[in-house]
Amino acid sequence: MKFVIISGLSGAGKSQTVKHMEDFGYYCVDNLPPSLIPKFMDLCYYSNSEINKIALVIDIRGGLFFNDLFDSLDAMKKMKLDYEILFLDASDEVLIKRFKETRREHPLSANGSINEGIIKEREKLSDLREVATNIIDTTNIRTAQLREELRNIFIEGNKSDSLMISILSFGFKHGIPLDADLVFDVRFLPNPFYIDTLKTLTGKDEVVRKYVMDSNYSIEFTKKLFDLINFLIPAYIKEGKNRLVIAIGCTGGRHRSVTISYLLHKYLKEKKYRARMSNRDID
């Protein structure tokens, strides 16, 4: 039987995750008091029920009940009941934006401050995050990408020891991504912005990529970038890192950064690494 505990930051995508897990055939229970988890698991394991995949959402909405979670986890270990913990995270900036868009109050923002609520929640969940089996950061991923990541973990069996690499193009004039692990500045490369026929296009267009790469600097930089990333990835995997965000920036985030991100993503996929690409400022 597969048993998954879903937790994480409010606004990080737990509700959407539950929908996907249900699509994958999981029986999902939202906001079950942690003290009831061992009894519920015991019932599921030893009953004659046909349910064989279960996901429980446990988070700070449980209030004081949430404090019982680690006692319940210890009880399950003693009962030799297997489980996984999925932790959903996102940057503070994105969480605040999501709360404002939905006009919801943060569960821990007693005085109405979303930021203070997030700080308190991170503190309360820090120990749980440390023991999580899988961590998904939803800062820069869309619904379809979240579904793909969940499928990789819970359907195809790719665990968190397989590094997920997120490549993010951005424009420096819009700010550096807060969740970036590695940041590369490609503003020294040829700029299509000043070419009338290319200005309105993006790095998704082949003619733009050809223009950006028509330079010895571009070719040499790309080669050195690929070599560096290829050197770093095994070290990150050995360390136990499960997510790497590589941010590549130019001035506006439409041409040069998108071009190099596209080429890096293609290279990593050819090397059989788990990689995805997003373009923050392309529009």
Output the pLDDT for position 139.
Answer: 86
Output the pLDDT for position 161.
Answer: 46
Output the pLDDT for position 218.
Answer: 96
Answering whether pTM is above 0.75, one says no
Q: How many CB atoms lie within 10 A of CB 166?
A: 24
DSSP structural state of residue 50: S
Query: Looking at the domain 2-154, which fold is it?
Result: Rossmann fold (3.40.50)
Output the pLDDT for position 104.
Answer: 81
Distance in angstroms (rounded) separating the CA atoms of residues 197 and 217:
23
Output the pLDDT for position 48.
Answer: 66
Distance in angstroms (rounded) separating the CA atoms of residues 191 and 46:
65
Residue-wise pLDDT for 121-138, tens only, equals 999 999 998 888 888 888
Domain ranges of the chain: 2-154, 164-279
Length of the chain: 283
Token pair belonging to 103: 């006009």
Token pair belonging to 185: 């500045």
Please give the single-letter amino acid code of residue 255. H
Instruction: Spell out, as residue ranges, where the chain has pLDDT lower than 50.
Output: 159-161
- Backbone φ, ψ for residue 278 (5° rounding): -140, 155
Residue-wise pLDDT for 185-233, tens only, equals 999 999 999 999 999 999 999 999 999 999 999 999 999 999 999 999 9
User: Across the strands, what pairs with 166?
Assistant: 245, 276
Distance of CA 68 to the CA centre of its chain: 27
| Cβ atoms of residues 37 and 3 within 8 Å | no
